[in-house]
């Protein structure tokens, strides 16, 4: 089919098959067509699958207005989308959206409160006469932004600039231009020092309420979409996610062709239909969250514009607001370092090179972490670095799909080989076994299996009539538990920290015996806490080493030479005699 896209100063044509169209492009085509009730229903499902919450909400609202049957269909689809039972009173309309009756009541109350705050802002500005009150107003602006009252905060700042001289209004002018407005936690799983921190940032959104509300809705949808697929779903408790409100001076993003230039917070641009952003701009915003930047700097940018091809790499994902449905794939690039597994260069740039033909003489070469290159299939099969998956056989292929070498990948149809026929990195289905193993290992490179130890690993003294409980709280995947094993090693009566401990009076350390005086309990957050009880009355006086090993038994990883999925801790224990 032939597609004509409007661009600044004209239009561009491209010929593409329906199968090759990006979900966001398919949605845009349907939006442009006159639709009846069934067409609106189809568009709603298409928008939901594409990860386009704005079009989904708009379409469901339009469907709700198509008579009683349309209203019933819209209500049923919307309830399923929200993951709730259909309210007895149904959904009501308010400002172009569907919501429950109580939600509309709360929204009307919020709007009324906002008007009161606006009146208070005007009165406060009129009373402001002394320089020391400027700081109070600035503090109030920060509070307004934290509460999501961005338009009011902007209005107050502009009033402040107008009523003060250059020196007094300097901070107000800075805040009007400062991109960072506020942040909102979307997923709080634990201490940033022991979690992977993802930040979802908006680009091309103005500092007004409607723009920032649209961004936050998109960020919530993006987070929800990401954690509905594995491994993100299984290891969701290993992640924190924060939405970062950024204001851009212009709406939308740069576009080429057309010469459209916008002043935006992350310098996103769409070239033909491929969206990218400026990683340094993204990281400059993330550096304002030092507690997370110390360990990670994964950013997902949602641009207030449209594009057909999303991108990811180097810790940054670039999405259009209608392209959230491929976030799993792009995070595979940015977080896992995975290569594309499809056969051709995406996008409709007329100057892009056609896919290369078969050369016939390429030597075998690894394209880690998920592809191989070479002309001779048998040689590639023999040398494939995922041969351990092939040799493991069907019983290890948890997705019930054959592991071998399949031609096509790295945007080339020939002489590049992938491990399985389908994969998230090829067709946005589930990850293949090799890519899943890469992703799980990447998670464990950043988050260790042991979350909390009590007491902290080190030296512990147990008095003659005392007992001590040692506790470990492992990380908690969604559908399986980590394995915990305790071992106790007797070391004799000589302090092993002394040089003579290696002599005849001491005992060299070994593995020890599995310790069985253990128990489990569930904390208030639903996590399992494993404990080992040591009682002096059950032990000879002397020194012991208590060891704990925590291991993830997931079938998604069968080769772990670096023991990323294993964590160990130990205590040196001195048991006192009578």
377: confidence class by pLDDT, cuts 50, 70, 90:
very high
| End-to-end Cα separation, the chain, in angstroms | 89
Predicted model pTM: 0.85
Residue identified by tokens 């259909």 is 86
* Secondary structure (DSSP) of 495-521: -TTSGGGGSTTS------EEP--EEEE
Predicted confidence (pLDDT) at residue 317 exceeds the cutoff of 90 = yes
Q: Within 10 A of 208 (CB to CB), how many other CB atoms are there?
A: 16
* Mean per-residue pLDDT, 15-38: 72
Q: What is the pLDDT of residue 131?
A: 47
Residue identified by tokens 């890519």 is 435
pLDDT tens-digit series, residues 458-482:
999 999 999 999 999 999 999 999 9
Predicted confidence (pLDDT) at residue 312 exceeds the cutoff of 90 = yes
Q: Percent of the chain scored above 70 by pLDDT?
A: 91
Q: How far is CA 527 from CA 116, 452, 521, 532, 538, in A?
A: 44, 11, 8, 17, 30
Query: For 506, how many CA atoms within 13 A lie in the half-sphere containing its CB?
Result: 15
Q: What is the pLDDT of residue 4?
A: 60
Tell me the residue ranges of DSSP E strands in 22-118: 92-94, 97-99
DSSP 340: P
Predicted confidence (pLDDT) at residue 538 exceeds the cutoff of 80 = yes
Q: What is the pLDDT of residue 506?
A: 46
Average pLDDT of the residues of the chain: 89
561 Cβ neighbours under 8 A, 6+ residues apart: none
Name which of 97-111, 253-267, 357-371 the model is least confident about. 97-111
- Find the Cα–Cα–Cα–Cα dihedral 49, 50, 51, 54, rounded to 10°: -110
Q: How far apart are CA 71 and CA 91, in angstroms?
A: 9
293: confidence class by pLDDT, cuts 50, 70, 90:
low
Q: Is 89 exposed, middle or buried (0-12, 13-18, 19+ CB in 10 A)?
A: exposed
Predicted confidence (pLDDT) at residue 47 exceeds the cutoff of 90 = no
Name which of 204-218, 374-388, 470-484, 505-519 the model is least confident about. 505-519
Q: What is the pLDDT of residue 315?
A: 95
CB pairs under 8 A, 24+ apart, for 16-21?
16/348, 21/308
Query: For 248, how many CA atoms within 13 A lie in the half-sphere containing its CB?
Result: 27
**Sheet containing 316-320: order of strands:** 180-187, 239-246, 196-203, 298-303, 316-320, 311-313
Q: Within 10 A of 112 (CB to CB), how many other CB atoms are there?
A: 10
């Amino acid at each position: 089919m032939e597609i004509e896209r409007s661009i600044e100063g004209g239009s561009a044509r491209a010929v593409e098959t329906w199968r090759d169209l990006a979900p966001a492009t398919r949605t845009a085509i349907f939006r442009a067509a006159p639709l009846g009730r069934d067409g609106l229903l189809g568009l709603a499902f298409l928008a939901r699958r594409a990860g386009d919450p704005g079009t989904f909400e708009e379409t469901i609202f339009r469907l709700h207005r198509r008579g009683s049957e349309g209203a019933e269909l819209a209500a049923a689809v919307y309830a399923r989308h929200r993951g709730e039972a259909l309210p007895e009173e149904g959904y009501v309309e308010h400002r172009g959206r569907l919501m429950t009756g109580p939600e509309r009541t709360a929204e009307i109350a919020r709007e009324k409160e906002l008007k009161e705050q606006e009146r208070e802002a005007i009165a406060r500005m009129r009373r402001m006469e002394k320089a020391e009150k400027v700081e109070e107003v600035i503090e109030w602006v920060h509070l307004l932004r934290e509460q999501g009252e961005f338009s009011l905060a902007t209005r107050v700042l502009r009033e402040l600039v107008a009523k003060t001289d250059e020196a007094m209004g300097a901070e107000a002018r800075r805040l009007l231009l400062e991109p960072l407005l506020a942040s909102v936690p979307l997923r709080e799983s634990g201490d940033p020092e022991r979690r992977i921190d993802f930040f979802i940032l908006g680009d091309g959104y103005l500092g007004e309420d409607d723009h920032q509300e649209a961004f936050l809705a998109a960020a919530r949808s993006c987070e929800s979409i990401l954690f509905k697929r594995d491994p993100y779903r299984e290891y969701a408790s290993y992640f924190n996610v924060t939405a970062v409100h950024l204001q851009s001076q212009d709406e939308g993003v740069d576009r080429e062709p057309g010469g459209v230039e916008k002043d935006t917070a992350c310098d996103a641009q769409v070239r033909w239909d491929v969206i990218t952003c400026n990683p340094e701009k993204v990281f400059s915003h993330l550096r304002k969250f030092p507690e997370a930047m110390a360990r990670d700097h994964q950013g997902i940018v949602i641009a207030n514009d449209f594009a057909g091809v999303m991108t990811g790499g180097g810790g940054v994902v670039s999405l259009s607001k209608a392209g959230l449905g491929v976030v799993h794939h792009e995070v595979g690039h940015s977080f896992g370092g995975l290569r594309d597994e499809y056969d051709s260069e995406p996008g409709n740039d007329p100057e892009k090179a056609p896919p290369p033909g078969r050369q016939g003489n390429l030597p075998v070469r690894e394209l880690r972490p998920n592809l191989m290159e070479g002309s001779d299939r048998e040689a590639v099969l023999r040398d494939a670095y995922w041969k351990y998956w092939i040799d493991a056989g069907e019983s290890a292929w948890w997705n019930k799909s054959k592991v071998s070498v399949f031609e096509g990948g790295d945007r080339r149809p020939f002489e590049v080989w992938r491990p399985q026929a389908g994969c998230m990195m090829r067709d946005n289905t589930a990850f293949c076994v090799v890519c899943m193993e890469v992703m799980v290992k990447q998670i464990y490179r950043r988050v260790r299996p042991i979350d909390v130890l009590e007491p902290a690993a080190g030296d512990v003294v147990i008095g003659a009539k005392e007992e001590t409980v040692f506790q470990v709280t492992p990380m908690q995947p969604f559908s399986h538990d980590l394995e915990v094993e305790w071992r106790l090693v007797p070391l004799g009566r000589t302090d092993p920290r002394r040089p003579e401990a290696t002599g005849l009076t001491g005992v060299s350390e070994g593995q020890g015996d599995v310790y069985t005086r253990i128990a489990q309990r569930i904390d208030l957050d639903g996590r399992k806490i494993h404990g080992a009880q040591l009682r002096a009355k059950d032990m000879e006086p002397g020194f012991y080493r208590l060891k704990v090993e925590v291991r993830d038994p997931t079938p998604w990883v069968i080769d772990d030479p670096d023991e990323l999925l294993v964590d160990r801790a130990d205590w040196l224990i001195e048991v006192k005699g009578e």
